[in-house]
Structure 1
Amino acid sequence: MNGERVVISGMSGLYPRANNIKELSETLYNKKNPITSGSKRWTFNHPEVSRYTGDVPQLGRFDAQFFGVHFRLASNMDFMSRKIMEQTFQAIYDAGLNPEHLSGKKVGVYVGTCFSETEKASFYVATSKTGFGIVGSVQSKGFRDL
């Protein structure tokens, strides 16, 4: 790497029944199972779909004003997009930094994500009703301005 260093200075995560990495650690060290068969957001009756899920806490809560997201857009955003914005901010905060001081600096925030079950709804259903379909999906990379 030619003497250049990579620094991982802040971390964040959202896990089943855990709002952060510390809560996940407590769950694992106490040998609690955060995976349940109840309270699904959707119903499937298919033999290949698991009956067990790990529910992410406070999925419906989002402070749109704090993140500068218009109310109409926030109401139509994919839940994963909202949570990515929150967790990105939390990782920066965990590093002991003020996000406002990072503006204009060469800083990388790397996010791991996967397919969201609301992505289809964001592209096909929400677009026709609100016009926010693509912008409200995690694929839009709307969190890049954080």
Structure 2
Amino acid sequence: MNKIASNIIYNMSANDIVISGMSGRFPLSDNTDELAKNLYEGVDMVTGDDTRWPIDLYDMNPRMGKIIEFNRFDVTFFGLPDRLTRCPEMAWIVPE
């Protein structure tokens, strides 16, 4: 075993974890690769349009990040009742 590998093994404790992968859904990006591409290309992923709901709804700032196909939210994984995610208000609360 080389010196670097032995140091890595030696310095690990029983409580250490390894992150071997990552996934997610981000504004205008369905995965981490799309997010990285959009960031590198300078894409403004925070929009001020009314594609999701009227801009003046709830007196909120009209610019916000919106995920693509938000209806693909996995309610079972998060233990939420399906009917809850059909409410217009929950369309932006649940993914946060």
The answer, yes or no, to whether TM exceeds 0.5 is yes
Select the residue among 113, 118, 122 that pairs with 2:90.
Answer: 118
| Counterpart-to-counterpart distance in 2, 1:11 and 1:30 | 21
CA-to-aligned-CA distance 1:3-35 (integer Å, 9 cap, x gap): 212111221111110000110000010011011
TM-score for the superposition, normalised by structure 1: 0.41
CA change 1:11–1:45 in 2 (3 A) is: closer
Structure (1/2) with the larger strand percentage: 2
Matched residue, 2:20: 9
CA distance in 2, matches of 1:62, 1:53: 18
CA distance in 2, matches of 1:62, 1:3: 36
**Is the alpha carbon distance of 1:21 and 1:77 closer, same or farther for their aligned partners in structure 2, counting shifts above 3 Å?**
same
**Compared CA separation, residues 56 and 50, structure 1 to 2 (3 A):** same
Q: Which protein shows a greater Rg?
A: 2
Q: Which runs of 5+ in 1 are unaligned?
A: 80-116, 120-136, 139-146
The 1-side partners of 2:57 and 2:73 are apart by 27
- Unaligned segments of structure 2, at least 5 residues: 1-11
Q: Which 4+ stretches in 1 moved above 4 angstroms?
A: none
Mapping of residues 39-58 of structure 1, within 5 Å: 39-41=51-53, 43-44=56-57, 46=59, 49-58=60-69
Distance of aligned partners of 1:62 and 1:28 in 2 relative to their CA distance in 1, 3 Å threshold: closer
TM-score (norm 2): 0.58
- Taking a change above 3 Å as real, the CA distance of residues 9 and 35 of structure 1, as seen in their structure-2 partners, is same
Cross-structure match for 2:70: 59
